[in-house]
Structure 1
Amino acid sequence: MKTRLIVLFTISLCITVSNAQSNLTLWYKSPAKVWEEALPVGNGRMGAMVFGDPRKERIQFNENTLYSGEPETPKNINIVPDLTHIQQLLNEGKNTEAGDIIQNKWIGRLNEAYQPFGDLYIDFDSKEAVTDYIHSLDMENAVVTTFYKQNGVKISREVFASYPAQAIIIHLKASKPVLSFTAYLSSPHPVNNESDSQVVYLKGQAPAHAQRRDTEHMKRFNTQRLHPEYFDATGHIIQKKHVIYGDEMDGKGTFFEACLLPSHKDGQLSISNHQVTARNCSEVTLMLYAATSYNGPSKSPSREGKNPHQEIINYRKIYKGENYIELKRKHIIDYQSLFNRVSFSLPASQQQKKMPTDERLKRFKEKEDQELLTQLFQFGRYLMIAGSRGEGQPLNLQGLWNDKILPPWNSGYTLNINLEMNYWPAEVTNLSECHQPLFNLIEEIADKGKDLARDMYGLDGWAIHHNISIWREAYPSDGFVYWFFWNMSGPWLCTHIWEHYLFTKDVDFLKKYYPILKGAATFCSEWLVENSKGELVTPVSTSPENAYLMPDNTPASVCEGSTMDIAIIRSLFSNTIQAAEILQTDMNFRSELIQKRNKLKKYQIGTKGQLLEWDKEYEENEPQHRHVSHLLGLYPGHDITNDTPDVFNAARKSLDIRGNKTTGWSMAWKVSLWARLYDASKSYEALTNLINYVNPKIKAENQGGLYRNLLNALPFQIDGNFGATAGIAEMLLQSHNENIHLLPALPLTWKEGSIKGLKARGGYTVDIEWKEGKTVVAYITSPYKQTANIQYKDQIIKSHFNIGERKKISFK
Structure 2
Amino acid sequence: MMKIAFGLLLTLVVFCVSAQEFDDKMKLWYDRPASNWNEALPLGNGRLGAMVFGTPAMERLQLNEETLWAGSPNNNIHDKAKDALPTVRKLIFEGKYVEAQDLATKEIMSQTNHGMPYQTFGDLFVSFPGHADYSAYYRELDIENAISTVQYKVDGVNFKREVLTAFDDQVILLRLSTDQPGKITCQLQLNSPHDNADAVTENDQILVSGVSSMHEKQPGRLKFQGRVKAKLTGGKQIVKDGIIQIEGADEVLVYVSMATNFINYKDISGDEVSKSQELLENAFSKDFESIKSSHVDYFKGYMDRVSIDLGITEAASKPTDQRVAEFSQGFDPHLVALYFQFGRYLLISSSQPGGQPANLQGIWNDRLFPSWDSKYTVNINAEMNYWPAEVTNLTEMHEPFLQLVKEVSETGREAAEKLYGAKGWVLHHNTDIWRIAGPLDRAPSGMWPSAGAWVSQHLWERYLFTGDKQYLEEVYPVMKGAAEFFLDFMIEEPENNWLVVTPSNSPENVHAGSGGKATTAAGVTIDNQLVFDLFSNISRASKILGKDEAFAMEVEKAKKRMPPMQVGKHGQLQEWMHDWDDPKDQHRHVSHLYGVAPSNQISPIRTPELFDAARTSLIFRGDPSTGWSMGWKVNLWARFLDGNHAYKLLQDQLSLVTPDKKGGGTYPNLLDAHPPFQIDGNFGCTAGIAEMLMQSHDGAIHLLPALPDVWEAGSIHGLVARGAFEIIELTWKQNKIEKLVVKARIGGNLRLRSSDQLRNEKGFRMSKAKGSNPNHLFEIMKINDPIISPEVKLNKVELPKFWEYDIMTTKGKTYTFYRK
Corresponding residue of 2:768: none
Contact persistence 1:95–1:558 (CA under 8 A): yes
Quickly say closer, same or farther: Cα 1:699–1:205, change in 2 above 3 A: farther
Corresponding residue of 1:241: none
CA–CA separation in structure 2 for the residues paired with 1:668 and 1:745? 15
Contact persistence 1:126–1:180 (CA under 8 A): no
User: 1:641-675, CA deviations, whole angstroms, 9 ceiling, x for partnerless residues?
Assistant: 11111111110010010111111100100000111
> How do residues 328-343 of structure 1 correspond to structure 2 at under 5 angstroms?
328-343=292-307
> How do residues 318-397 of structure 1 correspond to structure 2 at under 5 angstroms?
318-319=282-283, 321-349=285-313, 351-397=314-360
Corresponding residue of 2:730: 768
Q: Which moved more, 1:626-635 or 1:354-363?
A: 354-363
Shift of 1:365: 2.2
> How do residues 78-227 of structure 1 correspond to structure 2 at under 5 angstroms?
78-108=80-110, 109-127=113-131, 129-177=133-181, 178-190=183-195, 191-209=197-215
Q: Which amino acid aligns with 1:443?
A: K
Contact persistence 1:19–1:138 (CA under 8 A): no
> How do residues 415-494 of structure 1 correspond to structure 2 at under 5 angstroms?
415-479=378-442, 481-494=443-456
Provide the secondary structure at the position in 1 that maps to 2:50.
strand
CA–CA separation in structure 2 for the residues paired with 1:74 and 1:366? 49
Shift of 1:21: 9.6
Shift of 1:377: 0.4
Q: Which amino acid aligns with 1:63?
A: E
Say whether residues 1:48 and 2:50 are aligned partners.
yes
Corresponding residue of 1:286: 254
CA–CA separation in structure 2 for the residues paired with 1:426 and 1:660? 25
Provide the secondary structure at the position in 2 that maps to 1:149.
strand
Shift of 1:579: 1.5
CA–CA separation in structure 2 for the residues paired with 1:125 and 1:557? 57
Corresponding residue of 2:517: 555
Q: Which moved more, 1:325-334 or 1:269-278?
A: 269-278
Quickly say closer, same or farther: Cα 1:412–1:19, change in 2 above 3 A: farther
Say whether residues 1:708 and 2:665 are aligned partners.
no
Contact persistence 1:200–1:260 (CA under 8 A): yes
CA–CA separation in structure 2 for the residues paired with 1:585 and 1:20? 51
Contact persistence 1:755–1:769 (CA under 8 A): yes
CA–CA separation in structure 2 for the residues paired with 1:576 and 1:383? 32
Shift of 1:155: 1.1
Q: Which amino acid aligns with 2:200?
A: E
Provide the secondary structure at the position in 2 that maps to 1:534.
coil
Provide the secondary structure at the position in 2 that maps to 1:439.
helix
Provide the secondary structure at the position in 1 that maps to 2:819.
coil
Shift of 1:348: 2.0
Shift of 1:89: 2.6
CA–CA separation in structure 2 for the residues paired with 1:725 and 1:554? 34
Contact persistence 2:255–2:283 (CA under 8 A): no
Provide the secondary structure at the position in 2 that maps to 1:364.
helix
Quickly say closer, same or farther: Cα 1:352–1:21, change in 2 above 3 A: farther
Q: Which runs of 4+ in 1 moved over 4 A?
A: 18-21
**TM, length-normalised to structure 2:** 0.89
Provide the secondary structure at the position in 1 that maps to 2:328.
coil
Contact persistence 1:155–1:172 (CA under 8 A): yes
CA–CA separation in structure 1 for the residues paired with 2:444 and 2:38? 30
Quickly say closer, same or farther: Cα 1:523–1:309, change in 2 above 3 A: same
Quickly say closer, same or farther: Cα 1:621–1:482, change in 2 above 3 A: farther
CA–CA separation in structure 2 for the residues paired with 1:46 and 1:508? 32
Contact persistence 1:781–1:805 (CA under 8 A): yes
CA–CA separation in structure 1 for the residues paired with 2:428 and 2:391? 27
Shift of 1:687: 1.4
Q: Which amino acid aligns with 1:276?
A: I
Corresponding residue of 1:261: 229
Quickly say closer, same or farther: Cα 1:518–1:318, change in 2 above 3 A: farther
Q: Which moved more, 1:441-450 or 1:329-338?
A: 441-450
Shift of 1:785: 2.1
User: 1:190-242, CA deviations, whole angstroms, 9 ceiling, x for partnerless residues?
Assistant: 31322233322111111122x6xxxxxxxxxxxxxxxx68xxxxxxxxxxxxx
Q: 1:542 aligns with which of 480, 495, 505?
A: 505
User: 1:83-114, CA deviations, whole angstroms, 9 ceiling, x for partnerless residues?
Assistant: 33333333332223222221222122421111
User: 1:284-306, CA deviations, whole angstroms, 9 ceiling, x for partnerless residues?
Assistant: 1111100012232224x4xxx31
Query: How many residues are matched?
Result: 747
Contact persistence 1:429–1:757 (CA under 8 A): yes
Contact persistence 1:549–1:619 (CA under 8 A): yes
Shift of 1:129: 2.0
Q: Which amino acid aligns with 1:726?
A: A
CA–CA separation in structure 1 for the residues paired with 2:76 and 2:132? 58
Provide the secondary structure at the position in 2 that maps to 1:132.
strand
Superposed CA RMSD: 1.8
CA–CA separation in structure 1 for the residues paired with 2:398 and 2:459? 9
Contact persistence 1:482–1:558 (CA under 8 A): yes
Runs of 5+ in structure 2 lacking a partner?
1-19, 756-801
Quickly say closer, same or farther: Cα 1:58–1:520, change in 2 above 3 A: same
Shift of 1:783: 1.1
Q: Which amino acid aligns with 2:162?
A: E
Provide the secondary structure at the position in 1 that maps to 2:180.
coil
Say whether residues 1:800 and 2:808 are aligned partners.
yes
Q: Which amino acid aligns with 2:667?
A: Y
CA–CA separation in structure 2 for the residues paired with 1:408 and 1:80? 31
Corresponding residue of 2:15: none
Contact persistence 2:715–2:732 (CA under 8 A): yes
Shift of 1:128: 5.1
CA–CA separation in structure 2 for the residues paired with 1:21 and 1:722? 21
Say whether residues 1:811 and 2:819 are aligned partners.
yes
Corresponding residue of 1:788: 750
CA–CA separation in structure 1 for the residues paired with 2:165 and 2:530? 38
Contact persistence 1:555–1:621 (CA under 8 A): no
CA–CA separation in structure 2 for the residues paired with 1:523 and 1:314? 45
Quickly say closer, same or farther: Cα 1:443–1:769, change in 2 above 3 A: same
Contact persistence 2:230–2:252 (CA under 8 A): yes
CA–CA separation in structure 2 for the residues paired with 1:441 and 1:92? 38
Quickly say closer, same or farther: Cα 1:803–1:318, change in 2 above 3 A: farther
Q: Which amino acid aligns with 1:587?
A: E
Shift of 1:272: 2.0
Q: Which moved more, 1:22-31 or 1:79-88?
A: 79-88
CA–CA separation in structure 1 for the residues paired with 2:665 and 2:266? 38
User: 1:667-688, CA deviations, whole angstroms, 9 ceiling, x for partnerless residues?
Assistant: 1000001111111122111111
User: 1:585-612, CA deviations, whole angstroms, 9 ceiling, x for partnerless residues?
Assistant: 1111111112122222110110010001
Q: 1:591 aligns with which of 553, 572, 575?
A: 553
Say whether residues 1:665 and 2:599 are aligned partners.
no
Q: Which amino acid aligns with 2:688?
A: G
CA–CA separation in structure 2 for the residues paired with 1:105 and 1:166? 45
Q: Which amino acid aligns with 2:670?
A: L
Corresponding residue of 1:24: 26
